[in-house]
A and B are shown apart, each in its own frame.
Chain A
Amino acid sequence: MKNFISNLNKAFENRLRLGIMSILITNEWVEFNTMKELLDATDGNLASHITALEKIEYLEVRKAFIGKKPNTSFRITKEGKKAFKDHIDGLEQLIKKSI
């Protein structure tokens, strides 16, 4: 059982990070505010997890301005997609083994 758990990605241990990746996997560019609403998260909390995911290059950031308002969007990277898929596969195996 141990080796199945090792298939799970440590980067996704946090609920919010898993949530961020779930949203990005089905969408092209997602704005910060949309993300915030969907995940029901606070600005600071969301920002810190996004930064963490950006650091390991699972997502990329695009900063733009709409009028004078800053507008930040995110998109999943190739590495991020692969990591998320592997994580889900890991979950699947784990559940299969335990039933």
Chain B
Amino acid sequence: MTEIDKQLSDLRQIRQLMERSSKFISLSGLSGISAGIIALIGAFAARWRIHDVLDFNNVVSYKAIPSFEILYSLMYELILLALITLILAVLAAFFFTNKKASERGESLFDSISMRMLVNLAIPLVTGGLFCLFLLKENISLIAPAMLIFYGLALINGSRYTVDHIRYLGMAEIALGLVAGLFPGKGLLFWAIGFGVFHIIYGAVMYYKLER
């Protein structure tokens, strides 16, 4: 090995160690795809329940003006549905990322991935709590707020993982802001942001980096 070869391989090692010691790089594209599909199913289920209880076509029918009781039970049903969707999506995302991490010898629970998760969680938990206030005050802003806080969370966490998750974060924020202009269309925007965007992003990641 010549002197230059040695220095070049030194540089490669430096670069690799700097990245490996500070970033969690085993995020799997399949995680994005599966979470996106689950989000879409959740959104369709929610749409079906809403249209089942509230009849939008027939304004003169008795269903057009539902009682508060019906509205509240629908709201709790939707909250439960949202929680189930969230749990399933997180589980699916963990499953594929854990699989990829163990293939690459990274751990899902070391100091690096923990740092990523903590940074992701700060805006996310803030947003989640904020949405609880909105649930009482202004339901139509819940979907925009979820998208915006989620986007901020991704951008905040992106420093500790693959860089291009920033772009997904920016897209979610932009979508969230646009969604704010269309009250009543929250579920549609929610499905685009959490469903379609995840699937597109996951598929691009998967085909670019994992095959």
Contacts and interface: CB of A to CB of B under 8 A. Distances in A.
Contacts of B102: none
A30 B4 contact: no
A91 B6 CA distance: 10
Interface residues of B, number: 17
B113 to A, nearest CB: 12
Contact of A26 (B13, B22, B111): B22
Contacts of A95: 4, 7-8, 11
B77 interface: no
Contacts of A30: 21
A94 interface: yes
B110 interface: yes
B8 A39 contact: no
Nearest to A98: B4
Given A34-B110, A34-B111, A18 B13 contact: yes
A86 interface: no
B14 A22 contact: yes
A4 to B, nearest CB: 10
A49 B30 CA distance: 41
Given A31-B111, A94-B4, A98-B4, A15 B10 contact: yes
A18 B17 CA distance: 10
Interface of A: 5, 15, 18-19, 22-23, 25-27, 30-31, 34, 38-39, 88, 91, 94-95, 98
